[in-house]
Chain A
Amino acid sequence: MFQLISAEEAAAMIKPHSRIALGGFLAVGTPETILDAIVEAGINNLHIIAITSDYIGKGIGKLVDAHLVKSVQVSHMGTNKNIQDQVNSGEIQSELIPQGTLMERVRAFGAGLGGVLTPTGLGTIVAEGKQIINVDGKDYLLEPAIPSDFALIRAHKADKAGNLIYRKTARNGNPVMAMAGRITIAEVDEILEDEYIDPEAVITPGVFVNYIVLSKEGRK
């Protein structure tokens, strides 16, 4: 069952060189309160797994601006000049991964799988050095699971069982990342006090959630 903690307590759990699966897409649905606390604590040499690299000053951009990132596995970093500069200078190691493949590799880890087979990337530089497996006459790339120590995600509401719902396109990669952390910390707008989320409407079951942090971000 989850524990309610502060963003500072969340940051204190994360050590240098941790692998972090980070929710969000272009800084929508990113756990900004937790990220602020990590920057404040100065935890460095982080490995970040995220769909996009967000923007300067927002989302993963906050960590990059503070030079806390050692390596990234992302599908896109075209919106953040700082990360491009740090990649070009060699400060950050990067692996670019097709977005669907990234999601499945993260999901695979959370689901206890060694990897997935996908046709995406065949015949491109993404396939270089990877094993090709033929199933029923069709080729697929073997893409290994991506492990993470922590998943830091952003949800809308939690209930006292730790069940989560999200808000609109702020859901994005969050439910996938939530499954993949050995420790998952969810930043939420609100913890419901007097009711539970309708079990039919739960998006992330509470079993995936270890800690909850109340967001300091205003909505809208």
Chain B
Amino acid sequence: MTNDKRTHIGKRVAQELLDGDYVNLGIGLPTEAANHIPEGRKVVFQSENGIMGVGPAPAEGQEDKDMINAGGGYITAVPGASFFDSATSFAIIRGKHIDVTVLGALQVDQEGNLANWMIPGKLIPGMGGAMDLVTGAKKVIVAMEHCDKHGNPKILKKCNLPLTAPHCVNLIITEMAVIEVTPQGLLLKEITEGYTLEEVLKATEAELIVPDSLK
């Protein structure tokens, strides 16, 4: 993914993180959001290995080998941070104490089903904390490229990969669009400047509800 796309998605995700929110960012693209929180807005980041109050990456040479996030990257802690064991960490997650979780996806479908952990016969790294996060967080945001690396849609009528959880996604943010999962289906909320409605529809297999304002 180009840096432009990455930055755009990160900035747009950051708009969804509100003052006072406790947030868990998945590995990879979702972490970009942490770089775009507006000055003065207090968002507290959890990492599921056992910290609330993740700070920025340390300066080179300042890494502490006992300070990592769930992706294994070195982190710092902000003032007010806390450490806890992994059972407590998932009590926080499963117990609906996390306001927003942001994850990547292999596929999302128009019922809000999510597949992001397994490609049978190929990639089986394990679900890690993903199934608990999408089951327990109050709001689930998928942040991803609109299509896969071959240009195939990832927003589908029906996921055909093994699910991470059914009916769990609330919002999809890609470089092309912002799409909300509603009881009526996928509602197109925004089209990124530089893209047309036709391009978004072509890159999306799922049915999209398009409001008049975007036609």
Contact = CB atoms under 8 A, between A and B. Distances in A.
B119 interface: no
B161 to A, nearest CB: 11
Interface stretch (A1-9, A171-179, A192-200): A171-179
Q: Which residue, B87, B93, B164, has most C-beta atoms of chain A within 10 A? A: B87
Interface in A115-168: 118-126, 166-168
B87 A107 contact: yes
B59 to A, nearest CB: 15
A98 B85 contact: no
B47 interface: yes
Given A120-B136, A124-B131, A169-B50, A75 B87 contact: no
B127 A172 contact: no
Contacts of A104: 87, 90
Contacts of B89: 100, 103
A124 B165 contact: yes
Contacts of B167: 123
B129 interface: yes
B90 A103 contact: yes
Contact of A168 (B66, B86, B94, B123): B66
B125 A78 contact: yes
Nearest to B85: A175
B132 interface: yes
A51 interface: yes
Contact of A171 (B47, B69, B83, B90): B83
Given A99-B86, A123-B165, A176-B85, A169 B132 contact: no
A51 B50 CA distance: 12
B83 to A, nearest CB: 5
A176 to B, nearest CB: 5
Contacts of B123: 78
B94 A169 contact: no
A152 B127 CA distance: 24
Given A28-B65, A168-B66, A172-B50, A75 B128 contact: yes
A58 B70 CA distance: 17
Given A101-B132, A169-B66, A171-B50, A119 B83 contact: no
Contacts of B72: 26, 79
A107 B163 CA distance: 26
A166 B66 CA distance: 10
B48 interface: yes
Contacts of B86: 25, 51, 99, 103, 172-173, 176
Nearest to B123: A78
Contacts of B69: 169
B85 A169 contact: no
B64 interface: yes
B135 interface: yes
Contacts of A123: 163, 165-167
Given A26-B68, A173-B85, A99 B164 contact: no
B162 interface: yes
Contacts of B128: 52, 75-76, 78, 98-99
B195 interface: no
Interface string B79-109: 0000111110110011000000000000000
A38 interface: no
Nearest to A126: B131
Contacts of A173: 85-87
Interface of B: 47-51, 64-70, 72, 75, 77, 83-87, 89-90, 93-94, 123-132, 135-136, 162-167
16 contacts: A28-B65, A75-B126, A75-B129, A98-B127, A99-B90, A100-B89, A120-B135, A123-B165, A124-B131, A124-B165, A124-B166, A167-B66, A169-B69, A173-B85, A175-B85, A176-B86
